[in-house]
Amino acid sequence: MSCDSSINSVFEDDELTQVLLTHEFKKGDILKLDESSTTTKIAENDICVVKLLVGPGNPGPADAPSTSAGIGIEIWLPSHENWNNRIHVLGGGGWAGGVHTSLTELAGLNGMAEIAGIENSVTANTDAGHTGNSGAFAMNPDGSINRSLWDDFSYRAIHEMAVKTKFLTAAYYAKEADYSYWDGFSTGGRQGHKEAQVNPNDFDGILAGAPAINWTNFITNELYPMVVNQRDLGGIPLTMGQLTLVGNKAIDVCDDVGGIDLGYITDLESCTYDPTLDTSVLCEMDGGDNATDDCFSMVQATAMNKIWYGQTTDGTVPSPSEHNGYSSSLNSGQRWFGLPRGTSVAAISGSIAGGPFFIASDLVALELQDPRYAVANFDPVFGIPGFINATNNGEDLWKELTYAELNEATFQGISLQSSFGDINTDNPDLIGFKSSGGKLLAYHGMADTLIAPQGTIHYYERVINEMGGLTEVNNFYKLFMVPAMAHGFSNGTTNPGANPPLPTRNQLFDVLVDWVENGIEPNSIEILSQDETKSRPICAYPTKAIYNSGDANQASSYSCQ
């Protein structure tokens, strides 16, 4: 099949699917659909781009984000002679909206162009049924739950993308793909887990990084540091200088391996650093000896312990010596896990933007079904007369939340799962995926700056308990925890000089391909620092890289145990 209007015939019997655009780029062409585009990226090889719209969407007032014509899907097809007989699709991020139905913009300039043009795999991505990156799409103009678009966002869009991509691939190349892979990070990691849980035959291999599973639990918890600011600190967040000081103090206390200070923490569970007991960070008026602007009052030091520990039902926090918040299971009264010590918490503590991480305030507004709890740019109706406070739905009412009210929002999010498309994606029963022969490789940075890594461990332990034990689970699902890695392939610690060894996305994808296609089971993966001076193994959970002897910055000094 050629890259032209003949592609329309592929979906002519599918009344819900419309081909919006088919466009061929020749090798060397600038990858733009409209002269107004400013991109200079060029096609590395001949590529065919197809945009689909899959209904029925959700009707409603014009310009309201809850109004949707359907799910946008963008598919990139290598030339017939270059195709490697694989499908390698990408997941989304945040609320996952995009420009997939636009006739002038391309969603695939960030990754898909390389996968189709260099890797030579068919690739695709979806806008999950909406265009903007705000949670406003999930609330109808009258404030009610938009169940249709919650379903699209949670599971339907990714399944439709898988089905349509396979169908088009088979028609375009006159043969089916040999292997099909999912590759997603954050929301994309959640989407990959949802596919394994709900549509286990869609993919042979799933690569899921920093998976945003436990959605309503961890995202409501992301608002907790801001509630701590309001209730304990008079609405004034800790400064970047304070966060750097206390984060690096924790690292200094807890980073020793083999007599070397690594500059990042590898054993987070045993790190019980407590700033309320550290006179070097406490202000002089609070019994400390720190006279700088970055010093901590006792109240601020306790607030830091609360942020590290995570949301509790009433805003209390135990002594770190009793429980530091880093565990595979929740402690009594602990609603969810905090970001570990040594991790930069600036993105969720208000220290950068002054306000909350917008997805957290979006979600609490959706849980409480009241847009006023969101920040000011949450506009479900874009000023349409006759609807709730139409000129500006977000009123920062999150600032008034008590600890008990935030706790209630968490419970409300859990109770609304059937209306939210089971967005938590925490079903531990993966028997369908196991039976399909699929392989799932998950990974999570231990210094993730947005999603507490303990939540992924918590889910993995539940899968082990559900699926007959570790040996059974390891046959098809492995989890790798990466010390010092952020919410992305970078240093997530407060120490800018840490230079930790980190994997790359391509490295992890190659490991998954070897597992699926060649039966090479990954039990450890050697990773390198960016300057290639440091290395270490990351080990399939629950094994850890245990120091034996030698240079603690070299992989040869460790074994997985």
Q: Which two tokens mark 266?
A: 């590898």
Q: List the domain boundaries for the chain.
A: 5-177, 219-415, 431-560
pLDDT at position 430, please? Answer: 98
- Identity at 522, one-letter amino acid code: P
Weakest-pLDDT range from 35-49, 55-69, 95-109, 493-507: 55-69
Identify the three-state secondary structure at position 493. strand
Identify the three-state secondary structure at position 469. coil
Distance CA 390, CA 284 (A): 50
Q: Is there a contact between 50 and 72 (Cβ–Cβ < 8 Å)?
A: no
Q: Are strands 179-185 and 86-90 parallel, antiparallel or unpaired?
A: parallel
Tell whether the model's pLDDT for residue 384 goes beyond 60: no
Element holding 35 (H helix, E strand): none
Q: Which two tokens mark 61?
A: 């007032």
Distance CA 164, CA 161 (A): 5
Tell whether the model's pLDDT for residue 387 goes beyond 70: no
pTM value is 0.96
- Identity at 445, one-letter amino acid code: G
Distance CA 31, CA 480 (A): 36
In this predicted model, what pLDDT tens digit does every residue of 111-148 receive, in sequence order? 999 999 999 999 999 999 999 888 999 998 888 899 99
In this predicted model, what pLDDT tens digit does every residue of 183-224 receive, in sequence order? 999 999 999 999 999 999 999 999 999 999 999 999 999 999
Tell whether the model's pLDDT for residue 380 goes beyond 70: no
Distances (CA, A) of 508 to 76, 110, 274: 22, 18, 36
Tell whether the model's pLDDT for residue 383 goes beyond 70: no
Q: Which two tokens mark 88?
A: 């390698």
Site of tokens 């349409």: 384
Q: Give 555's contacts (C-beta < 8 A, 6+ positions apart).
A: 501, 526, 527, 535, 536, 537
Which one, of 191, 178, 207, 181, lies nearest residue 84 by Cα? 178
pLDDT at position 141, please? Answer: 83
Phi, psi at 479, each rounded to 5°: -125, 130
Identify the three-state secondary structure at position 30. strand
Which one, of 184, 97, 106, lies nearest residue 134 by Cα? 97
Task: Determine how many CB atoms are found less than 10 A away from the CB of residue 27.
Answer: 13
Report the chain's C-alpha Rg in angstroms: 24
- What is the pLDDT confidence band of residue 458, given thresholds at 50, 70 and 90? very high
Q: Is residue 549 packed enough to be buried (19+ CB in 10 Å), middle (13-18) or exposed (0-12)?
A: exposed
- What is the pLDDT confidence band of residue 379, given thresholds at 50, 70 and 90? low
Q: Give 478's contacts (C-beta < 8 A, 6+ positions apart).
A: 440, 441, 442, 522, 523, 540, 541
Distance CA 175, CA 85 (A): 9
Distances (CA, A) of 255 to 81, 248, 251, 319, 497: 52, 10, 5, 21, 13
Distance CA 126, CA 228 (A): 36
In this predicted model, what pLDDT tens digit does every residue of 248-290 receive, in sequence order? 999 999 999 999 999 999 999 999 999 999 999 999 999 999 9
Helices (H), 147-282: 147-151, 157-173, 187-198, 215-222, 224-232, 240-254
pLDDT at position 354, please? Answer: 87
Tell whether the model's pLDDT for residue 390 goes beyond 50: no
The 3-state secondary structure of 41-101 reads: CECCCCEEEEEEEECCCECCCCCCCCCECCEEEEEEEECCCCCCCEEEEECCCCCCCCCCC
Averaged pLDDT, 461-472: 98
Mean pLDDT, the chain, whole residue set? 95
- What is the pLDDT confidence band of residue 391, given thresholds at 50, 70 and 90? very low
Q: Which two tokens mark 107?
A: 């969603």
Q: Is there a contact between 18 and 39 (Cβ–Cβ < 8 Å)?
A: no
